Amino acid sequence: MKRYLGFIVIYFILIALSLISTAYLEIVYYTLFLMVISQSLNILMGFGGLYNFGHAVFIGIGAYVFALLVVQGLSPYVSMIIGGVASSFVAFLIGMLTLRLRGPYFAICTLCLVPAFKYLIVGGKIAGGAAGIVLLRHLIEAYNPYILTYILLLLSVIITLLTLKMSTSSLGYSLKALREDHDAALTSGVDATRCRVIAFILSALFPGIAGGIVAFKIFWVMPETVIDLTWSIEAILIVLLGGSGTVMGPILGALVYEALKDLLMRYFPGLQLLIFGLLVVILISMAPEGITGLLSNRFKRLKGFLI
């Protein structure tokens, strides 16, 4: 029971905050969005040790599939889920191709995925090309920010439970082994390709659904708005900040990140990226285990809560 306490507390706080005012709802919404994409990335990055700079692509795919379906008259909620499934499918395809690459090669390749996807849509004039798809009239009546926020909350809870289960499962151990020492894992019987692909697919499902939510919120799906490298980077940053490979890590990371971002926006507008960039450099050099690492080392009693 003790392991769940931290999570329950945090989720409660988030729900409480969201009910205060619409301004707070916005913040909670965005925090949960970051949480969902970071937690899902953690499955691949934290457990598997693969830095997927193209994580944002899954959001984009989810958004586009959502848009295409909604325009046809399908319910937005069903469309979201199908968007997630579509993302997973694309992840399967991309994964089969790219997951055999070693660390830095994988990072570079996935980094190119985001602009590549953008150019593909604009250049190939797919789904409206640069102009995108407008969803305003299809969704304006169904729009309810509370529902969207709580769907994100639900997603986050699901991922939390999933990763908790994973850390003591065969898949979890295998992924971590691959991360630690690829060859030794192979000779210990780990099927590298299969494990990685599964992790990849899982990590794509949730951002896919989240993509649908984003599309729902902004009513207009365009390459510029839904295929954004920033999300990839924020996700990676949050995973590192919170503690890569832990379940609590991305959650804490998202909270701290969002808080920091708001703070910086108020006192040092325009300098946020600069400060964040430097912060990451310091983080990597001095505290590679992130917040959960720091807290566990400093306050040994907290260790049980911070898995």
Residues that bind other proteins (CB under 8 A): 49, 51, 97-98, 101, 103-105, 107-109, 111-113, 115-116, 119-120, 122-125, 129-130, 168-170, 173-174, 176-177, 180-181, 183-192, 233, 236-237, 240, 245, 270-271, 273-281, 284-285, 288
Instruction: Give the residue with the Cβ less far from other proteins, 26 or 191.
Output: 191
Instruction: Give the residue with the Cβ less far from other proteins, 141 or 183.
Output: 183
**CA pair distance 93, 133, nearest whole angstrom:** 25
Residue 272: CB minimum distance to other proteins, A: 8
Residue 54: CB minimum distance to other proteins, A: 11
Instruction: Give the residue with the Cβ less far from other proteins, 12 or 105.
Output: 105
Q: E strands, the chain, where?
A: 133-134, 220-221
Instruction: Give the residue with the Cβ less far from other proteins, 46 or 207.
Output: 46
Instruction: Give the residue with the Cβ less far from other proteins, 78 or 112.
Output: 112
Residue 180: CB minimum distance to other proteins, A: 4
Instruction: Give the residue with the Cβ less far from other proteins, 15 or 275.
Output: 275
Instruction: Give the residue with the Cβ less far from other proteins, 15 or 288.
Output: 288
**CA pair distance 69, 215, nearest whole angstrom:** 12
Q: Are 60 and 227 in contact (CB under 8 A)?
A: yes
**CA pair distance 1, 6, nearest whole angstrom:** 10
Residue 148: CB minimum distance to other proteins, A: 30
Partner residues linked to 220 by β-bridges? 134
Residue 132: CB minimum distance to other proteins, A: 14
Which pair of structure tokens corresponds to residue 233?
């980077």
Residue 196: CB minimum distance to other proteins, A: 12
Q: Which of 110, 90, 127, 118 is nearest to 208 (CA)?
A: 90
Residue 214: CB minimum distance to other proteins, A: 23
Q: Which of 208, 52, 54, 200 is nearest to 116 (CA)?
A: 54
Residue 191: CB minimum distance to other proteins, A: 5
DSSP letters for 238-290 = HHHHH-TT-SHHHHHHHHHHHHHHHHHHHHSTT-HHHHHHHHHHHHHHH-TTH
Instruction: Give the residue with the Cβ less far from other proteins, 20 or 282.
Output: 282
The alpha carbons of the chain give a radius of gyration, in whole angstroms, of 19
Q: Which class for 30: exposed (0-12), middle (13-18), buried (19 or more C-beta within 10 A)?
A: middle
Which residues lie closer than 8 Å to 70 by C-beta, 6 or more apart? 76, 79, 135, 138, 139, 215
Half-sphere exposure of 207 (CA within 13 A, CB side): 34
